[in-house]
Structure 1
Amino acid sequence: MRLRKRPGAMEVLRERPGIVPQKPEQLRGQWTEDKPLHVELGTGKGRFLARMAEKYPSTSFVGMEKMESVLSYAVEGMEQQDNVRLVHGNVSDLQDYFASGEIDRIYLNFTDPWPKNRHEKRRLTFPTFLRLYKEVLSPRGDIHLKTDNEDFFTYSVEQFSRNGYHLNNLTLNLHAHEPEDNVRTEYEQKFADRAQRIFRVEAYLPE
Structure 2
Amino acid sequence: MRVRNKAWAEPLIEAHPELMITDPLQNKGDWQKRFKKKQPIRIEVGMGKGQFIIQMALKYPQINFIGIEIQRSVAAIALRDALEESLPNLQLVLADGADLNEYFDNGEIDRVYLNFSDPWPKKRHVKRRLTYKSFLHVYQEILVDHGVLEFKTDNQGLFEYSLVSLNNYGFVFDAVFLDLHHSEEAVENVETEYEHKFSAKGQRIYKLSGHF
TM-score of the two chains, using structure 1 as the length reference = 0.94
Pairs aligned (count): 205
Offset of residue 146 of structure 1:
0.4
Name the residue aligned to 1:90. Answer: 96
TM-score of the two chains, using structure 2 as the length reference = 0.92
Structure 1 contact 19–80 (Cα < 8 Å) conserved: no
CA distance in 2, matches of 1:178, 1:45: 27
Structure 2 contact 24–103 (Cα < 8 Å) conserved: yes
Unmatched runs of 5 consecutive residues or more in structure 2: none
Offset of residue 73 of structure 1:
0.6
CA distance in 1, matches of 2:164, 2:22: 37
Runs of 4 or more off by more than 3 Å in structure 1?
A: none
Name the residue aligned to 2:43. Answer: 39
CA distance in 1, matches of 2:210, 2:43: 15
Structure 1 contact 160–203 (Cα < 8 Å) conserved: no
Name the residue aligned to 2:197. Answer: 190
Unmatched runs of 5 consecutive residues or more in structure 1: none
Structure 2 contact 177–183 (Cα < 8 Å) conserved: no
CA distance in 2, matches of 1:34, 1:139: 18
* Residue 134 (structure 1) aligned to one of 110, 135, 140: 140
Offset of residue 129 of structure 1:
0.6
Q: Map Cα deviations across residues 57-107 of structure 1 (whole Å, 9 max, x no partner).
A: 010000111111110110011122110001111122112211111011000
Name the residue aligned to 2:23. Answer: 23
Offset of residue 167 of structure 1:
0.9
CA distance in 1, matches of 2:23, 2:86: 18
Structure 2 contact 22–95 (Cα < 8 Å) conserved: no
* Residue 127 (structure 2) aligned to one of 100, 103, 121: 121
Q: CA RMSD in A?
A: 1.4
Q: Map Cα deviations across residues 140-198 of structure 1 (whole Å, 9 max, x no partner).
A: 20100000000000000111111121112101000112532110111111112111100
Offset of residue 8 of structure 1:
4.1
Offset of residue 7 of structure 1:
3.1
CA distance in 2, matches of 1:24, 1:196: 36
CA distance in 1, matches of 2:105, 2:10: 26
Name the residue aligned to 1:63. Answer: 67
**Higher helix residue share:** 2
CA distance in 1, matches of 2:93, 2:208: 25
Letter in 2 for 1:3: V
Letter in 2 for 1:198: I
CA distance in 2, matches of 1:82, 1:29: 19
Letter in 2 for 1:7: A
CA distance in 1, matches of 2:184, 2:8: 39
Letter in 1 for 2:41: L
Letter in 1 for 2:65: F
